[in-house]
Amino acid sequence: MEDIEVRAVAAVRTDGSAVVGLGEDESGAGTHLIVSRLLSPDGSAATSEPYTLSTETGATCEGGVREIVADGVTLTIRVSDGAAETLGIPVERRYRFSDATVAARIHKALAWLVDPARSTVPDDLFDRP
């Protein structure tokens, strides 16, 4: 399993999309994972459209997250074999945050992005530009 120290994090919601980004470096260099989903005109998730995963290499795939587990300052994200192969990442990665509150917020935002039918999204999970 690969461990990533998260030094850059963003959860942003616009009128047309919601995005969570996790990165090793605030400059955008290093390892990162971006999870995004289109939103319907009413601001709800466009559930007919899958979410996408993207990495620092530019590799992108639709869907693929199997599990997101929160434990204090750590989020463990497990993806399918197919997503791991497409993205060039391990099936399991631990993302370590410096703050448990931020980790919990990002966990909730990611859970909603991956499966919006299972949870509601409070406005305070995502920043607005």
| Dist. CA 12–CA 9, nearest whole Å | 10
Reading the block at residue 64, the tokens are 């693929």
Residue 125 identity: L
The pLDDT tens digits of the residues spanning 12-23 come to 988 788 899 999
pLDDT for res 12 = 92
Residue spans of the domains in the chain: they are 2-125
pTM: 0.90
Averaged confidence pLDDT in the chain = 88
| Dist. CA 80–CA 96, nearest whole Å | 21
The conformation of residue 127, written as its DSSP 8-state character, comes to B
The stretch 66-73 carries a mean pLDDT of: 95
The mean-pLDDT minimum among 12-26, 41-55, 75-89 falls in 41-55
Pairing of strands 17-23, 8-13: antiparallel
